[in-house]
Structure 1
Amino acid sequence: MSTQQHIQEISASTGILVPPRTWRPATDYLHHLSLNGEWQFRLHPSAQIDESLPWETITLPCHWVFSSERDAQRHLLWTRGKPIYTNMQFPFALNPPHVPQNNPTGEHRRTFEVSAQVLQEIASGGRAIIRFLGAESIAQVRVNGVPVAILRGSRLMHEVDISSVIREGTNTISVIVSQWSAMSYVEDQDQWWLAGIFRDVDFYVERARSFRDVRVHGDYDPHTGACTLHIRVDCDDDGYTCRIGEREYVLRSGRWESVVVESALPWSPDAPHLYPITLTNAVDERTIRVGFRRVEVFHGDRPRILLNGKKLELRGVNRHETHPDKGRTFDPDQLRRDLTMMKRHNINAIRTAHYSHDPRFYDLADEFGFWVVCEVDLESHGFVFGDWVGNPTDSPQWRAVYEDRALRTVSRDYNHPSIIIWSLGNESGYGENLARSAALIRREDPSRPIHYEGDYDGRITDIHSRMYLPLEQIHAICSADGDVPISDVAVWGHVRQFPLINCEYAHAMGNGPGALIDYDECIDTYEQYHGGFVWEWRDHGLRTWDNGQEYFGYGGDFGERTHDSNFVMDGLVRSDDVPSPALAELKAVYAPVKLVARAEVGRLIVEVRNRFHAQRSSILTTRVYVGDTCLGVLEHDVAPGERETIVWENASVSPDVVIDLVSCRNEVAVPGNSWEEEGWEVSRVQIRPQVRPLSYPTDGSVTPASQPLVSFDGDRLSRILDLPVSDIRPSLWRAPTDNDESRGFGSFSLASPGNTWGAGLEGAPSSADVWRASGLDKMVCHEWQTDFSGDEYCGCFVREEVWASDQSPSRVNVAWHWEWGVFDDEPGVRLSVDVMPSAGWKGTWPRTGIHLAIPRPQHVSWLGYGPGEAYVDSRQAVTLGHFDADPQDLEFEYAVPQENGTRIGMRELTLNYDSYTVSLNAHPHISLPEYSDYYPSFSVHKYDEFELTAARHPYELATTEEFWHLYIDGGQHGLGSRTCGPDVYPRSAWTPRAVTITVDMKRG
Structure 2
Amino acid sequence: MENVTCTAALNGAPATPARRDTPSVPSDRFDHASLDYVESHDPGQGRLAPRARSVSDAMALDLDGDWRFRLAASRHTLTPGFEAPDHDDARWDLLAVPSSWQLRDVADTPRYGSPAYTNVVFPFPVDPPRVPDANPTGEYRREFQLPAEWPESGRGVLRFEGVDSAFAVFLNGVPLGNGKGSRLPTEFDATDALRPGRNVLAVRVHQWSAGSYLEDQDMWWLSGIFRSVALLHRPLDGVGDVFVHAGYDRGSGEGVLRVEAGAPGRITVAELGLDLAVGEEVRVPVEPWTAETPRLYDAELATAGERVRLRIGFRTVAVEDGLLRVNGVPVLLRGVNRHEWDPDTGRTLTPETMRHDIELMKRHNINAVRTSHYPPDARFLDLCDELGLWVVDECDLETHGFEPNNWRDNPSADPRWRDAYLDRMSRMVERDKNHPSVIMWSLGNESGTGGNLRAMADWTHERDPGRPVHYEGDWDSGYVDVYSRMYADHDETDRIGRGTEEPTKDPALDAHRRTLPFILCEYAHAMGNGPGGLTEYQRLFEQHPRLQGGFVWEWIDHGVRRRTPDGREFFAYGGDFGEVVHDGNFVADGLVFPDRTPSPGLTEYKKVIEPVTVRIDPHARRVSVRNGLDFATTGHLSFHWLLEDEGVARAEGELTVPAVAPGGTAVVAWPGALTEAAAAGAAGERRLTVSARLAKDEAWAPAGHEVAWGQALLAAAPAVPPPGRGRRPGTTAEGLLTLGEGAFDPYTGTLVRIGALAVEGPRLDLWRAPTDNDLRGWGGSVAERWRAAGLDRLEHRVLSVDTGEEGLTVTTRVAAAGTDAAMSAVYHWSAPEDRPGGGLRLTLEVEPVGVWDLPLPRLGLRAAVPGALDTVSWFGGGPYEAYPDTRSALRIGRFTAGLDQLQTPYLFPQENGSRADVRWVRLTDRTGGPGLLVGGPAPFAFAARPWSSEELDAARHPTDLVRGDLVRLTLDAAQQGIGSASCGPGVLPEYRLFAGPVTFTLDWASEGPLPA
TM-score (normalised: structure 1): 0.90
Q: How many Å separate the matches in 1 of 2:430 and 2:930? A: 66
| Aligned: 1:681 with 2:706 | yes
Alignment of 1:970-981 (within 5 A): 970-981=973-984
Preserved contact between residue 814 and residue 833 of structure 1 (Cα < 8 Å): yes
2:808 maps to: 797
| Aligned: 1:968 with 2:990 | no
Alignment of 1:806-955 (within 5 A): 806-820=817-831, 822-856=833-867, 857-913=869-925, 914-918=927-931, 920-924=933-937, 934-955=938-959
Q: How many Å separate the matches in 1 of 2:854 and 2:870? A: 39
Alignment match of 2:233 (pick from 205, 209, 216): 205
CA positional deviation for 1:393: 0.5
Alignment match of 1:415 (pick from 412, 428, 434): 434
Alignment match of 1:291 (pick from 313, 321, 324): 313
1:458 maps to: 477
Preserved contact between residue 395 and residue 433 of structure 1 (Cα < 8 Å): yes
Instruction: Classify the secondary structure of the residue corresponding to 1:164.
Output: helix
Q: How many Å separate the matches in 2 of 1:908 and 1:724? A: 20
Preserved contact between residue 57 and residue 307 of structure 2 (Cα < 8 Å): no
1:624 maps to: 641
Preserved contact between residue 739 and residue 807 of structure 2 (Cα < 8 Å): no
Identity level (%): 39
Alignment match of 2:743 (pick from 705, 708, 711): 711
**Deviation digits for residues 576-606 of structure 1, max 9, x if unmatched?**
1111001110111111111233320xx3344
Alignment match of 1:24 (pick from 29, 49, 54): 54
| Aligned: 1:638 with 2:653 | no
Q: How many Å separate the matches in 1 of 2:767 and 2:484? A: 38
- Sort the Cα spacing of 1:273 and 1:553 in 2 relative to 1 into closer, same or farther, 3 A: same
CA positional deviation for 1:329: 0.7
CA positional deviation for 1:100: 1.2
- Sort the Cα spacing of 1:800 and 1:307 in 2 relative to 1 into closer, same or farther, 3 A: same
Preserved contact between residue 155 and residue 189 of structure 2 (Cα < 8 Å): yes
Instruction: Classify the secondary structure of the residue corresponding to 2:68.
Output: strand
Q: Which moved more, 1:863-872 or 1:194-203?
A: 863-872
Preserved contact between residue 740 and residue 838 of structure 2 (Cα < 8 Å): no
1:60 maps to: 97
Amino acid at match of 2:361: M
- Sort the Cα spacing of 1:573 and 1:825 in 2 relative to 1 into closer, same or farther, 3 A: closer
1:154 maps to: 182
1:928 maps to: none
- Sort the Cα spacing of 1:287 and 1:798 in 2 relative to 1 into closer, same or farther, 3 A: same
CA positional deviation for 1:735: 0.4
**Deviation digits for residues 515-535 of structure 1, max 9, x if unmatched?**
111111122211111001100
Alignment of 1:591-610 (within 5 A): 591-600=610-619, 603-610=620-627
**Deviation digits for residues 419-473 of structure 1, max 9, x if unmatched?**
0000010110111111111111112111110000113112110000111111111
| Aligned: 1:547 with 2:565 | yes
Alignment of 1:383-532 (within 5 A): 383-480=402-499, 482=500, 484=502, 492-532=510-550
Q: How many Å separate the matches in 2 of 1:584 and 1:892? A: 13
**Deviation digits for residues 180-236 of structure 1, max 9, x if unmatched?**
00100000000000000000000121111111122112211111111122211212x
- Sort the Cα spacing of 1:573 and 1:219 in 2 relative to 1 into closer, same or farther, 3 A: same
Amino acid at match of 2:223: A
**Deviation digits for residues 281-316 of structure 1, max 9, x if unmatched?**
343211111111111202xxx411111121111001
Instruction: Classify the secondary structure of the residue corresponding to 1:993.
Output: coil
Q: How many Å separate the matches in 1 of 2:995 and 2:258? A: 65
| Aligned: 1:189 with 2:226 | no
Q: How many Å separate the matches in 1 of 2:700 and 2:659? A: 24
1:927 maps to: none
| Aligned: 1:169 with 2:197 | yes
CA positional deviation for 1:333: 1.9
- Sort the Cα spacing of 1:484 and 1:797 in 2 relative to 1 into closer, same or farther, 3 A: same
Instruction: Classify the secondary structure of the residue corresponding to 1:367.
Output: helix
1:750 maps to: none
Instruction: Classify the secondary structure of the residue corresponding to 1:208.
Output: coil
Q: Tell me the C-alpha RMSD between the 2 structures.
A: 2.4
Q: How many Å separate the matches in 1 of 2:34 and 2:886? A: 53
Q: How many Å separate the matches in 1 of 2:159 and 2:972? A: 60
CA positional deviation for 1:545: 2.4
Equivalent residues, number: 942
- Sort the Cα spacing of 1:977 and 1:623 in 2 relative to 1 into closer, same or farther, 3 A: same
Amino acid at match of 2:150: V
Preserved contact between residue 741 and residue 840 of structure 2 (Cα < 8 Å): yes
Preserved contact between residue 166 and residue 181 of structure 2 (Cα < 8 Å): yes
1:42 maps to: 70
CA positional deviation for 1:250: 3.8
CA positional deviation for 1:956: 1.4
CA positional deviation for 1:889: 0.9
Instruction: Classify the secondary structure of the residue corresponding to 1:943.
Output: coil
CA positional deviation for 1:107: 0.3
Amino acid at match of 1:624: W
CA positional deviation for 1:822: 3.7
- Sort the Cα spacing of 1:956 and 1:233 in 2 relative to 1 into closer, same or farther, 3 A: same
Amino acid at match of 2:626: R
CA positional deviation for 1:513: 0.4
Q: Which moved more, 1:621-630 or 1:469-478?
A: 621-630
Preserved contact between residue 483 and residue 518 of structure 2 (Cα < 8 Å): yes
**Deviation digits for residues 700-732 of structure 1, max 9, x if unmatched?**
124589997123455332211232111432110
CA positional deviation for 1:624: 2.6
Instruction: Classify the secondary structure of the residue corresponding to 1:907.
Output: strand
Alignment match of 1:240 (pick from 266, 289, 297): 266
TM-score (normalised: structure 2): 0.90
Q: How many Å separate the matches in 2 of 1:492 and 1:766? A: 34
Q: How many Å separate the matches in 2 of 1:780 and 1:510? A: 29
Structure 2: runs of 5 or more not aligned: 1-31, 81-88, 730-737
Alignment of 1:123-142 (within 5 A): 126-142=154-170
| Aligned: 1:100 with 2:128 | no
CA positional deviation for 1:555: 0.4
- Sort the Cα spacing of 1:404 and 1:880 in 2 relative to 1 into closer, same or farther, 3 A: same
Alignment match of 1:721 (pick from 755, 763, 775): 755
Preserved contact between residue 830 and residue 1001 of structure 1 (Cα < 8 Å): yes
Q: How many Å separate the matches in 2 of 1:777 and 1:50? A: 55
| Aligned: 1:784 with 2:784 | no
Q: Which moved more, 1:81-90 or 1:816-825?
A: 816-825
Preserved contact between residue 248 and residue 255 of structure 2 (Cα < 8 Å): yes
Preserved contact between residue 639 and residue 657 of structure 2 (Cα < 8 Å): yes
Q: How many Å separate the matches in 1 of 2:401 and 2:267? A: 51
2:722 maps to: 698
Alignment match of 1:733 (pick from 756, 762, 767): 767
CA positional deviation for 1:50: 3.7
Instruction: Classify the secondary structure of the residue corresponding to 2:431.
Output: helix
Q: How many Å separate the matches in 2 of 1:462 and 1:708? A: 72
Structure 1: runs of 5 or more not aligned: 746-763, 925-933
CA positional deviation for 1:986: 0.3
Preserved contact between residue 381 and residue 437 of structure 2 (Cα < 8 Å): yes
CA positional deviation for 1:957: 1.6
1:759 maps to: none
| Aligned: 1:986 with 2:989 | yes
Amino acid at match of 2:634: S
2:37 maps to: 6
Preserved contact between residue 166 and residue 179 of structure 2 (Cα < 8 Å): yes
Amino acid at match of 2:629: F
2:17 maps to: none
2:19 maps to: none
Preserved contact between residue 557 and residue 593 of structure 2 (Cα < 8 Å): yes
Preserved contact between residue 220 and residue 228 of structure 1 (Cα < 8 Å): yes
